[in-house]
Structure 1
Amino acid sequence: MMTTYKASQPAPALKDLTDQVRFHGTEGKIWLEEQRMLLVQVSMMASCRRELIEMLGIERAKGFFLRLGYQSGLKDAELARKLRPHGSDVEMFFTGPQLHSLKGMVNVLPQEIDIDLDNGHFYADIEWQDSFEVENCASEHLHSEQPVCWMLLGYAISYSSFFLGRQILYKEVSCRGCGDEKCRIIGKPAEQWDDADTFMRYFQSDPIIDELQVLQVQVANMRQRLQQAAGQFYGIGESAVYRKTCSLIDKVAAGKASVLLLGETGVGKEVIARSLHLRSERAGGPFVALNCAAIPPDLIEAELFGVEKGAYTGAQQSRMGRFERAHNGTLFLDEIIELTPRAQASLLRVLQEQELERVGDSQTRRVNVRVIAATHENLENAVKTGRFRADLFYRLNVFPVNIPALRDRREDIPLLIEHFLDKLHESYGKKTLGLSDRALQACLHYDWPGNIRELENLMERGVIITDVNQSIAVDSLFPNDPPPSPSVGLTSDGRLASQTGKQAQAWIDQIFDAGINLASVEDQLMQAALDRSQQNVSEAARLLGMTRPALAYRLKKGPAEEAPGEH
């Protein structure tokens, strides 16, 4: 049966509800029937609202307060039927709005309520006066373009839904918190609202901690990748000679000077060039690389400076060269010694004037390009023999940097091996156990004429040949003749041994014959280790096969004094 309430009708008395409120100050408790309550300042709730909005954003804060009000409404809906078991549907329903008012949250003034519990019919038109949430926003100067009575709305939705036994949804159709004249809500079954599903998402669990944890993992992974990238910015290497090279690159990277990279084939000149570009002011611009040895001599100018349509047979369309593609960036010219004399002259003009002409064209084009050149040959000798222009050499040789050969930085070999194996395991989808001890020793004593490129190729060969979960054997890397072990080493009991059987003894005899004592040998070994490691005590200790504290202690003591009786 339909029960209707109009605003002109008197509301049920509040005495039965106020009688349920009990203050037990000596116990520090306030009770509403069997529910423990709290008295809190409205200003505290205002501060809480402001901080949550700042912390979570408007939408997440709205969902939080809607769900908070929803839980409160569920508790009061249970209470309503206990307090007025014999009242009409409207009287029982009024318990919720009156409890809302009794708690000091809002003054609820129902304008119209239609309830039919048997058929699930429900309609409510309610005005809110003196909403504490409107007061919160005003006191914290929180401007809003949408209704702000979130907690009150969540309460009304859960209370009515529990009472009716079906999903009831309220909308705040006007709100003083966003500039309207009054706060007014309309409630009816959810299916009668077009956007009910969208709005009900606010009541779904919103575990922000899960999202924060995911973000923390992503940030940690990104930070780790950045740290790895920073450590590998110049490739892989911790040896003193390699770090010295990187230090030189650091000094020149920020400027505009041309850089000449010198070193054997395969030492990683392009890796260094890319790193220099990324550390420069041009990092946001293009990095263009060209191996001059890979371009036929008659096409090198077109490749560098561009070509106009019809400039020569086969030039069917105009296209820009590497210089134009590298505009506002960096151009890396590897094996620059292979440039033809004419290309060398054109390159010199571009470097000096920052302008070029395409092959077959008379139009001058401005370019802003930093050139990094590289070669494995001695350019000074090439100048003397007439293979390379002296003026171009001086223009490129503003800041020469020698990239050390792999045999000069053997302590980096294990790091490089680990790096390449990690990449190859992922690339081939198989996991080996790494190099066997003998294979590693062979790598450490091999001269690596092909340098890092040769090392990478040998690691790939080893991964291809070796079965899953097996160690890479020395014959997988060096199938013909593995590199010989060092001519002088240590036996298992710590004595010097050599392949010749006589070399170690010859060294010992020379030391004795020269009258050199043990302290002098130790001092010279320590000093040699420091010189070789560029005064890096930790690296010197590794070279000597001792701990850093032990070496530091010996260095602090200074040269050993001659024992009494010795002369």
Structure 2
Amino acid sequence: MTIHKKAAPPSTAVHPIDDLVSRIHFDAREGRIWLDDQRMLLLHASALGVLHQELIETLGIDKARGLITRVGYNSGSQDAELARKLRRSARPVDTALVGAQLHMLEGVARVETVRLDVDEERGHFHGEFIWHGSAEAEAHIHRYGIGADVVCWQQVGYASGFSSRFMGRPVMFREVQCQAQGAPHCVIVGKPVEEWDGAEEDLRTLRADTLTSGLSAFNGAASAQSLLGDADVVGVSAGFNAVCHMVRRAARTQATVLFLGESGVGKEVLARSLHRISPRSAGPFVAINCAAIPEDLVEAELFGVDKGAYTGAHSSRPGRFERADGGTLFLDEIGILSWPAQGKLLRALQEREIERVGGTKACKVDVRVVAATNSDLREAVKRGRFREDLFFRLNVLPMRVPPLRERREDIPVFMNHFLRKFNQRDHREVTGFTGRAIDAMLTYHWPGNIRELENLVERGVVLASDQGPIDITHLFVGGEEVEGDWLALHRDGSLLASRTCAPATDALALTPELLGQRVVALLSGAENACTTSLDEVEAAMIQSAMARTEGNQSAAARLLGLTRAQLIYRLKAYKRLGGE
């Protein structure tokens, strides 16, 4: 079936609508702006002109055009996934228009649709759009004036990336008229690559491999595959990528690695990846959590036991060092090792040999030790709880894995990764996350890090309905405190102070500030308005009036427009709710 949108009159523009506007949030406290689960930036429009100029004068106009076009292509490709998610049940033409609508929301230009034909079954696409007030063209004109060339390279790349990802086949846009040429506005036309004459030059500009790669199925985890090539090690943040680079460099060596970081940040997952990409990958990977073993059995677990070493030792048993021979031994929570065990571990690291408990003969081992701890070993050394010589032996390649609250760009990646994992494991068809669930996940402080996030997504998959999204009520039901603040947008572009809709423990648990924000959101018709009961509002107003009048019931009643008898009746009901 072909869906055709007739040519719009010149005065008709595509208007941003609420489902897109509501997905833009400003987290001023954390210094982040989010478009759904993608981090965004606010930039001066003049900076775009500086970028054009620097690239043109440094690389030449052809290479500069190609680079800027590819940047736009990447952005459009990601926004196409947002379109699919938000308008899953909409007509294809409405979903295809999201690119133009997001262009306006992002301040690029006012977009007018002249023609849009979409037939996904046949792979047919033809679009023609007018850009009024193109920021890219204006920035270029400011630097170079009016010329002979079209210059909205980033915008053309964006349209091509969005449409290619949306259609699942290469779609290419060309700018056929530009303000930088002296025209009153810019015009772009898009259709499948094979329908263009002379498409080879455009493909060289965009690079065919870039165009093709943009058509692969996108999801947060797959697009952010780590540098370690492991499906379980994902992330896009700078902190995460820095650790991955260090792991890759360390993997080629025999140096001892010490992972530092809070519980739940993924230290063991990184240790397994280090082993997998190292020359020792054919050997065993043996892991031991030192905190999970009784203190009097740690030495036996690490170094093994000879027959008769103690009561009950009826046979000899190899320890973890011997079992890891030729491979990697991962020692988690190494900071809790007893003093004698620390001494034996130091000897094993220095001499590459161990001695079983109750044994008399040293045994050579070829083991690479990778350790991890969530404690401050330097402080433990100062307090005499950890051997200084062992600390320096372990601290050859220290790698700090940042907590999740310091790498919030990775939260959407893990959300999508775990959603896919548990959908597949439990044969569920949960479709994704609601807007307020994403808001809550992005602003939550994550004391349990990735492990806690995984547990919450698993909980959401269990509680949500098939073919439905995970909402905040499916996630934070275990006593978690969610108090994230952000700034959202009204449809008219004005800012609204909002707060994550964390479930209150009772009707009186909301602060007056939070209650006021909820009431404003509700009255303004905001999509992300939290559930707010009349009991909550009434109780808060009574409490405020009584405080303002220092307990004078008559004065408080006048403030509320009630009789004294009516106020007393409501006060009794308020006290039954638990008020004072």
TM-score interval w.r.t. the shorter chain? 0.3 to 0.5
Which structure has more relative contact order (CA 8 Å, sep 6+)? It is 2
How high is the TM-score relative to the length of structure 2?
Answer: 0.46
Q: Give TM-score scaled by structure 1 length.
A: 0.47
